[in-house]
Amino acid sequence: MVTSAIAQDCPSVCTVLLLDPPADKQLEIQCTPNHPCDITAYLSTLLPNMTDLKRLTVRGTTMKEIPEAVCNLRAIRHLVLSTNTIERLDPGCFQNMTELLILRLS
């Protein structure tokens, strides 16, 4: 199943793509760089219902830190948070991500 929608918190600058194959659920959020778009509230609403998410990509936002909802993704294997404005990392954020193989923050 493939779902594409516009993120409600950033209606004109972000696209959301959800890929839901049986073994590898993926969520990709791509925002247009240089636009003020902090989708923390959107992620905090969406991610608690996606406990089986394996891959998450969030690019081009003005997030200052990784939202708690991302830190709670225990099954995540690939986490790509590049081209954001992350300034602070909670050291305990990755502690429960025991399946994490790839982390990109640049």
Output 44 or 80, whichever has higher pLDDT: 80
For 16-60, write each residue's pLDDT tens digit: 888 877 678 999 988 877 666 778 888 888 899 888 999 999 998
Full-model pTM: 0.85
Main-chain dihedrals φ then ψ at residue 46, nearest 5 degrees: -80, -45
C-alpha to C-alpha distance for 56 and 93, rounded to whole angstroms: 15
Give 70's contacts (C-beta < 8 A, 6+ positions apart).
43, 47, 56, 58, 79, 81, 93
- Tell me if 7 sits within 8 A of 14, measured CB to CB: yes
Average pLDDT of span 81-87: 90
Under 8 Å between Cβ of 79 and 100: yes
